[in-house]
Structure 1
């Protein structure tokens, strides 16, 4: 057996030293004895021989004593076993030796049994030294380990009644170390109440000789809940009984939070209304959520795992472009591409994809959403937006929550109010319309919101001095039983209102005409009836002739009435008309006397119904012939915004000018009084204006304005 205990024996008698060495080595083959004859050489040997396990020294030596040698050894080797083996024994020397750190003291004897005692003393001292050294080394390594680890390292006795070692307790538990040193079970106060029984069972398990590997909650000193991971092992003595328990406690709160977040993430992924999946670099499915199965119309995940996502693109060029971008940029977001389901149905999807490398393998992580319906809605909205932007109706949105501010307004609405979109958006009725109209508008909005029904109303608008009429319809939009928006549509009804006004005016004139005709017809009819009765009574033919004259006057009135009624018809399609040509035609048809003269100069082309315009000229020229002298001259020409017809006859007195267009008005007893009334009907039907003024030569001048020039 190789020696395992090295002994340094120092004695000033070389022969004795060699004898002791030989004897000890024969007594125990684990001994190896080194001999020196002086303390100085002994110290040098210790410094050169690092593996000395025990020093045996004589006391009485020439240069110094064994106690001096002991002090020198203790300066450099405070724990090395040192046995003072001397022939000069006394209690005083023994006491001094022990006080200076000697491990043992033994007096030399005459028999060989003394060497056996020395061997036993040396072995016991070395074993104790080595045991202490190993324990210290173990403690040192444990301390180093504890100081270099974020864990709480601990050692308890088997009954958890004595704390043998602990490190990092305050860092993990946020509780004072002094408390657990005083009461080893104090750490249980830091265990979450719901987990304490579980921890007690684990402690009992280790006390019974079984290891544990558990996680549980703790409550830190600041009241925050954390998580710890504990691994513990029982330590057995030579008899197989548990003498202590050792282990570590590690703070795993962050990991538990990550695990919790991961669980939540997985739950979110599984419940997302979007397909979430991972594929290999060549497109084969690795993992997916249920929505992926649904989007691709698969029966199960297994069915998709047998396919490649790259096979499901409708256009391979789109697929390659997407993959190139992902690999070059690392990720792509919001890419829209056309794909197909396993059943062959085509769909538009929006893809977000990222390239990922794990354990040297390349993967593609994707999120895919079916946007077919959304694209169709967007296209419909775009078409609707185009319609809205180009609509002739003024369309707008009003925010109910913010004092009825305008949210949207199309160009027609902007034109209506004379403001741009930037000037309209965010403005209230008071800022847009002002005054009484603003108040009325806001009241309409309030009524719409309160009644939750569509409202229709009409209003006037005054922009740049022009009056227009509008019909507005507003409808409440309700979300979650709350009116949030008002949608409005306003239509220009100016033409309709003007037509209605013309119709009312024409109706009034027809009433006037009916009254006049009734009166005018009554007289000749009564005369004809009376003459007819006299003719029957007297058989005098003169009465018949006069009755016929009355009937002729009635027929003349009838013809005039028919002419007026014709002009009441809605003007048919208009076209550019040459006034000079119309004037020449009418001059011929009226059959003016030779003495009359018609002069036409600078007559414009106008937009009119040719037949209606022809009747207008006929009636005015006929009126001139009827009321003027035989040599009357008529002038026809253009003026700013229209044309005129003027004569040099007697004219129309200013007091009579407001009456000449009234049905039945005439200055001649045999006249019908409907000619100029017909003229006014024609002018009104064209939306023109007519007035009578003095002519430049003293006659009557008819000016027709608000006439659109022909192009």
Structure 2
């Protein structure tokens, strides 16, 4: 009875599971009389099958025992050499404030009892000659341990809940019926960027993006009126750094719950998920476009080539071989454009400081310009992917020349939106809102301006219909907005806004 079967180090360890109510109860009896300590242990184990009782005759080894073993209750004599029971209690309370401690002593009076209660003893019982006292002691130990374990279980649950709330990827909030924050979990500071205490009392929809606010308000107040609804709302949230992360909020009306009396909302940041979804959607759209090209645009020149080959075999006329040659070149052009479009949608641009003049001149050199002229009216440094920006300009230049009014005799102008005074050189100039490419050709009718950016759309005989689709894809990859209007010379004018200026 002097050794325990319980594992060492299990009690009061931060994060350790508390003992279950039906686990054996480990008791340490401390008495300077070894025989009396053993007798007490024997009677206690007879009184309850779930008691596991050990003994010590000295206070110092008893404290060591508490350090090494999981003890659920201490039963101590009062009058012991070196350290009396109350001094021992003080030492135990310093280390284990809530551990049940029963003072079981033959030297009892009202003064000792009062002092013991003031010192924080769990229970006090005087020794007697009747063995029935051990049944009383056993019951008091069992009651004390039951309360102790229940308290530990609650505390453990509270600590676990606190850690879950602090480290959760969700923000848990309670909203009043008039849409004001009543509570936000600590994770709000990490996820939303605000001190949760400072947000209490704030109107929740003040943080929603103006374009998303109405929908969020409608869903919320509908749920206030109808508790059976479980709304899920996605909206952009105003972060203190000026960004607008996308939140997904799931709500439940618990206004009638007396423990909550509010609308419980779980919100999480889904910005990255939305980005991946949009990227996947773009890739799927590109795949559909490529499928369309393979099934339609390539079929025509393939049919021409096959028919011409059959006629060449039948007649030997060299004109049929010319048609085959044109068809094969057409197929090659379409494949090149499709591959370019696919690459643009797959990889993110690698941006750097790029001179608008330099990249425009490089693009012009790569195009069969014929009698066309290039005029760079303003220049600036742009933050862009040089290779892709050159591809964008090449396609625009080719488009202008292909649709020129008089066999390629066209002037193409490149400049800045809201430009400064920089002219035709690499000197730094304010980039304004972006840049433009304009020409004095036939222009593009207003009714066709949306369709020209679709894959496969072409009004020219030699075009593949992918040039402007690639332009749109490159602009989107950079985060630029593209618009198409009339130039001052009557041709087409492509404007690119949202362009970041290069750092000086």
Normalising by structure 1, we get a TM-score of 0.41
Task: Please tell me whether residue 664 in structure 1 is matched to residue 456 in structure 2.
Answer: yes
Q: Secondary structure at the match of 1:668?
A: coil
- Cα pair distance change 1:695/1:403, threshold 3 Å: closer
2:416 corresponding residue in structure 1: 638
Q: Distance in 2 between matches of 1:646 and 1:656?
A: 17
Q: How does 1:510-529 map to 2 (within 5 A)?
A: 511=288, 514-515=291-292, 518-529=295-306
Match of 1:540 in 2: 317
1:440 deviates by 2.7
- Are 2:331 and 1:557 aligned? no
Q: Verify: 1:620 aligned to 2:396, yes or no.
A: yes
Contact 2:172-2:185 within 8 A present in 1 as well:
yes
After the TM superposition, which residues 190-201 of structure 1 pair with which residues of structure 2 at under 5 Å, given as runs? none
Asked if the contact 1:394/1:411 (under 8 Å) is kept, the reply is no
1:601 maps onto 2:354 in alignment: no
Q: Which position in structure 1 is the counterpart of 2:120?
A: 367
User: CA 1:526/1:341 → structure 2, altered by over 3 Å: closer, same or farther?
Assistant: same
Measured in 1, the distance between the counterparts of 2:225 and 2:203 equals 13
**Tell me, what secondary structure is at the counterpart of 1:660?**
helix
Change (3 A) 1:577 1:384: farther
Q: What's the CA shift for 1:376?
A: 8.5
Q: Is the 1:409–1:421 contact (alpha carbons within 8 Å) kept by the matching residues of 2?
A: yes
What does residue 409 of structure 1 align with? 184
1:440 and 2:219 aligned: yes
Provide closer, same or farther for how the CA distance between residues 491 and 590 of structure 1 changes in structure 2, counting only shifts above 3 A: farther
Q: 1:674 aligns with which of 466, 473, 476?
A: 466
In the alignment, which of 228, 233, 248 is matched to residue 458 of structure 1? 233
TM-score, normalised with respect to structure 2:
0.55
User: Secondary structure of the equivalent of 1:568?
Assistant: helix
Q: Using the alignment, how far apart are the partners of 2:310 and 2:273 within structure 1?
A: 53
* Cα separation, 2, equivalents of 1:304 and 1:438: 72
Tell me: CA distance 1:637–1:308, structure 2 relative to 1, closer, same or farther (3 Å): farther
Q: Partner of 1:395 in structure 2?
A: 171
**Pairing 1:689–2:464 present:** no
DSSP-derived class of the 1:676 partner: helix
The answer to whether the 8 Å contact 2:231/2:252 transfers is: no
| SS at structure 1 position matched to 2:306 | helix
Question: Following TM superposition, by how much is the alpha carbon of 1:681 offset from its aligned partner in structure 2, in angstroms?
Answer: 1.8
Larger Rg, first or second structure (1 or 2): 1
TM superposition shift of 1:567: 1.9
Residue 690 of structure 1 deviates from its aligned partner by 0.8
Question: Unmatched 5+ residue regions in structure 2?
Answer: 1-58, 60-69, 100-110, 123-147, 418-431
- Equivalent-residue separation in structure 2 for 1:457 and 1:386 (angstroms): 23
Contact 1:506–1:681 (8 Å) recurs in 2: no
Contact persistence 1:576–1:710 (CA under 8 A): yes
SS of 1:681's equivalent in the other structure is helix
Q: Deviations over 1:166-212 (max 9, x none)?
A: xxxxxxxxxxxxxxxxxxxxxxxxxxxxxxxxxxxxxxxxxxxxxxx
The equivalent position to 1:300 in structure 2, one of 72, 76, 81, is 76
- Write the distance in 2 (CA, Å) between the matches of 1:547 and 1:564: 26
Q: Distance in 2 between matches of 1:622 and 1:431?
A: 49
Rounded to whole Å, the distance in 1 between the matches of 2:153 and 2:480 is 55
Secondary structure of the equivalent of 2:457? Answer: coil
> In structure 2, how many angstroms separate the alpha carbons of the residues matched to 1:649 and 1:547?
32
The Cα offsets for residues 146-169 of structure 1, whole Å up to 9 and x where unpaired, read as xxxxxxxxxxxxxxxxxxxxxxxx
Which structure dedicates a bigger proportion of its chain to strand?
1
In 1, distance between residues paired with 2:318 and 2:469? 37
Give the superposition deviation at 1:612: 3.2
Kept in 1, the 8 Å contact 2:207–2:238? The answer is no
Deviation of 1:301 after TM superposition, in Å, equals: 2.8
CA RMSD across the alignment: 5.5
SS at match of 2:346: coil
Cα pair distance change 1:602/1:373, threshold 3 Å: farther
Matched, 1:704 2:496: yes
Task: Measure the CA separation in 1 of the matches of 2:392 and 2:306.
Answer: 35
Change (3 A) 1:487 1:609: farther
- Residues 20-35 of structure 1 mapped to structure 2, 5 A cutoff: none
Taking a change above 3 Å as real, the CA distance of residues 463 and 367 of structure 1, as seen in their structure-2 partners, is same
1:478-493 equivalent positions in 2, closer than 5 A:
487-493=264-270
Are the aligned partners of 2:219 and 2:233 in contact in 1 as well (CA < 8 Å)?
Answer: no
Instruction: Report how far residue 669 of structure 1 moved.
Output: 1.2
- Greater relative CO (CA pairs within 8 A, separation 6+): 2
Aligned residues: 373
Matches within 5 A, 1:222-241: none
Q: Is residue 397–residue 408 contact of structure 1 (8 Å, CA) maintained in 2?
A: yes
Q: CA deviation at 1:410?
A: 5.7
Change in 2 beyond 3 A, CA 1:410/1:373? closer
**What residue in structure 1 maps to residue 444 of structure 2?**
652
Residues 119-158 of structure 1 aligned to structure 2 (within 5 Å): none
Tell me what 1:259 maps to.
none
Contact 2:353-2:381 at 8 Å conserved across structures = no
Q: CA deviation at 1:664?
A: 2.3
Contact 2:455 2:465 in 1 (8 A): yes
Measure how far apart 1:553 and its partner are. Answer: 1.8
The one-character-per-residue Cα deviations of 1:235-268 (angstroms, maximum 9, x if unpaired) are: xxxxxxxxxxxxxxxxxxxxxxxxxxxxxxxxxx
Shift of the 506–703 alpha-carbon distance from structure 1 to 2, 3 Å rule, reads farther
The structure 1 residue matched to 2:345, chosen from 549, 558, 568, is: 568
